[in-house]
Amino acid sequence: MLGRLSFRLILLLLVAAAILLSAEALSLLTDWLWFGEVGYREVFVRILTAKAMLALLLGSVFFGAVYGNLYLASRSPATDVLIELEDHLGLPSRFIVEPYIRRFLLPGVLILSVFAGLQATQRWDTFLRFRYQTTFGISDPLFGKDVGFYVFTLPFLNTLYGWAMVVLGVTALLTLFTYFLFRGIQLTSRGPRVSPWARGHLLLLGAALLTVKAAGFQLDLYDLLVSPRGVVFGASYTDIHAVRPALQLLIVLSLVCAALCVVHLYRPGFRWLAMGLIALVAAAVVGEGIYPALLQRLRVIPNEIAVETPYITHNIRFTRLAYGLDKIREVEFPADENLGWEDLQRNRLTIDNIRLWDHRPLLATYGQLQEIRTYYKFVDVDNDRYVMDGRYQQTMLSPRELSYEHLPNRNWINEHFAFTHGYGIVMGPVSRISREGLPEFTIQDIPPVSTGPLKVTRPEIYYGELSNDYVFVKTTAKEVDYPAGEDNVYSTYAGTGGIPIGSAWRRALFAARFGTVRIVLNENLQGESRILMHRRIDERIRKIAPFLRFETDPYLVLTQDGRLVWLIDAYTVSDRFPYSEPTPRIGNYIRNAVKVTVDAYHGTVHFYVSEPGDPLIQAYGGAFPDLLKPLSAMPADLRAHLRYPTGLFTTQARMYATYHMQNPQVFYNKEDVWHIPRRAGEGREVPMEPYYTIMRLPGEPREEFILLVPFTPARRDNMSAWLAARSDPPHYGTLLVYTFPKQKLVYGPRQIEARINQDAYISQQLSLWNQQGSQVIRGSLLAIPVETSLLYVQPLYLAAERGSLPELKRVIAAYGSQIAMEETLENSLARLFGGRGRGVAVAGLRPPAPGAAGTAAADRAPGLPAGLRELTARAAEQFARAQEMLRQGNWAGYGEQMRGLEQTLKSLREQAAR
pLDDT tens for 527-581 read: 899 999 999 999 999 999 999 999 999 999 999 999 999 999 999 999 999 999 9
How confident is residue 103, by pLDDT bands cut at 50, 70 and 90? confident
- The values of phi and psi at residue 313, to 5°, are -60, -45
Q: In this model, does residue 843 exceed pLDDT 50?
A: no
Instruction: Report the range of poorest mean pLDDT among 187-191, 241-245, 373-377, 602-606.
Output: 187-191
Buried b (16+ CB within 10 A) or exposed e, 879-889: bbbbebbeebe
CA distances from 46 to 19, 194, 367, 621, 630 (A): 25, 50, 44, 12, 21
- Identity of the highest mean pLDDT range in 265-269, 771-775, 877-881: 265-269
User: Rounded distance, CA 400 to CA 273, Å?
Assistant: 73
10 Å Cβ neighbour count for 623? 21
Is residue 795 within 8 Å of residue 324, measured between CB atoms? no
Percent of the chain with pLDDT over 70: 88
User: Rounded distance, CA 99 to CA 74, Å?
Assistant: 10
Taking alpha carbons only, the member of 94, 92, 69 closest to residue 79 is: 94
Q: For 328, how many CA atoms within 13 A lie in the half-sphere containing its CB? A: 26
Contacts of the segment 293-302: beta carbons below 8 A, 24+ positions apart: 295/238, 295/241, 295/242, 296/229, 296/238, 296/242, 299/237, 300/230, 300/236, 300/237, 300/238
User: Rounded distance, CA 24 to CA 18, Å?
Assistant: 10
Query: What one-character DSSP code corresponds to residue 369?
Result: H
Is residue 198 within 8 Å of residue 90, measured between CB atoms? no
3-state secondary structure 492-536: CCCCCCCEECCCHHHHHHHHHHHCCCHHHHCCCCCCCCEEEECCE
Who contacts 410 (Cβ-Cβ below 8 Å, separation ≥6)?
A: 404
541: enclosing H helix or E strand: helix 537-544
Give the strand pairing for 499-500 and 530-533: antiparallel
Instruction: Give the pLDDT of residue 718.
Output: 92
Distance in angstroms between the alpha carbons of the first and the last residue of the chain: 123
721: enclosing H helix or E strand: strand 721-726
Query: What one-character DSSP code corresponds to residue 355?
Result: -
Taking alpha carbons only, the member of 457, 492, 487 closest to residue 471 is: 492
DSSP lists the bridge partners of residue 192 as: 187
Environment class of 89 (CB within 10 Å of its CB; exposed 0-12, middle 13-18, buried 19+): exposed
Is residue 186 within 8 Å of residue 84, measured between CB atoms? yes
SS3 684: strand
Helix and strand numbers, DSSP H then E, in the chain = 30, 36
Q: In this model, does residue 642 exceed pLDDT 60?
A: yes
Instruction: Give the pLDDT of residue 538.
Output: 95
User: In the predicted model, what is the mean pLDDT of residues 120-136?
Assistant: 95
Instruction: Give the pLDDT of residue 486.
Output: 81
How confident is residue 22, by pLDDT bands cut at 50, 70 and 90? low
SS3 398: strand
Q: In this model, does residue 197 exceed pLDDT 90?
A: no
Please calculate the CA angle 533-539-543 and round it to the nearest 5 degrees: 85
User: Rounded distance, CA 587 to CA 616, Å?
Assistant: 14
Type of residue at 246: A
DSSP per position, 184-212: SEEEETTEEEE-HHHHHHHHHHHHHHHHH
Environment class of 28 (CB within 10 Å of its CB; exposed 0-12, middle 13-18, buried 19+): exposed
Q: In this model, does residue 813 exceed pLDDT 60?
A: yes
SS3 850: coil
Is residue 628 within 8 Å of residue 617, measured between CB atoms? yes
User: Rounded distance, CA 595 to CA 566, Å?
Assistant: 10
How confident is residue 840, by pLDDT bands cut at 50, 70 and 90? very low
* Comparison of pLDDT for 892 and 307, the residue scoring more: 307
Taking alpha carbons only, the member of 356, 333, 347, 338 closest to residue 828 is: 356
10 Å Cβ neighbour count for 177? 13
Q: In this model, does residue 45 exceed pLDDT 60?
A: yes
pLDDT tens for 477-487 read: 989 999 888 88
Is residue 725 within 8 Å of residue 643, measured between CB atoms? no
10 Å Cβ neighbour count for 907? 16
Q: For 489, how many CA atoms within 13 A lie in the half-sphere containing its CB? A: 10
Type of residue at 438: L
- The values of phi and psi at residue 499, to 5°, are -105, 130
CA 67 to chain CA centroid, nearest Å = 45
Who contacts 6 (Cβ-Cβ below 8 Å, separation ≥6)?
A: 100, 104
User: Rounded distance, CA 207 to CA 377, Å?
Assistant: 65
How confident is residue 845, by pLDDT bands cut at 50, 70 and 90? very low
Taking alpha carbons only, the member of 811, 48, 707 closest to residue 394 is: 707
How confident is residue 185, by pLDDT bands cut at 50, 70 and 90? confident
The pTM assigned to this predicted structure is: 0.86
Instruction: Report the range of poorest mean pLDDT among 44-53, 54-63, 549-558, 846-855.
Output: 846-855
Query: What one-character DSSP code corresponds to residue 632?
Result: G
User: Rounded distance, CA 204 to CA 68, Å?
Assistant: 13
Q: In this model, does residue 862 exceed pLDDT 70?
A: no
SS3 539: helix
User: Rounded distance, CA 710 to CA 721, Å?
Assistant: 6
User: In the predicted model, what is the mean pLDDT of residues 852-874?
Assistant: 54
* Comparison of pLDDT for 697 and 846, the residue scoring more: 697
How confident is residue 294, by pLDDT bands cut at 50, 70 and 90? very high
Q: In this model, does residue 883 exceed pLDDT 80?
A: no
* Comparison of pLDDT for 508 and 17, the residue scoring more: 508
Q: For 505, how many CA atoms within 13 A lie in the half-sphere containing its CB? A: 4
Is residue 323 within 8 Å of residue 655, measured between CB atoms? yes
Q: In this model, does residue 859 exceed pLDDT 60?
A: no
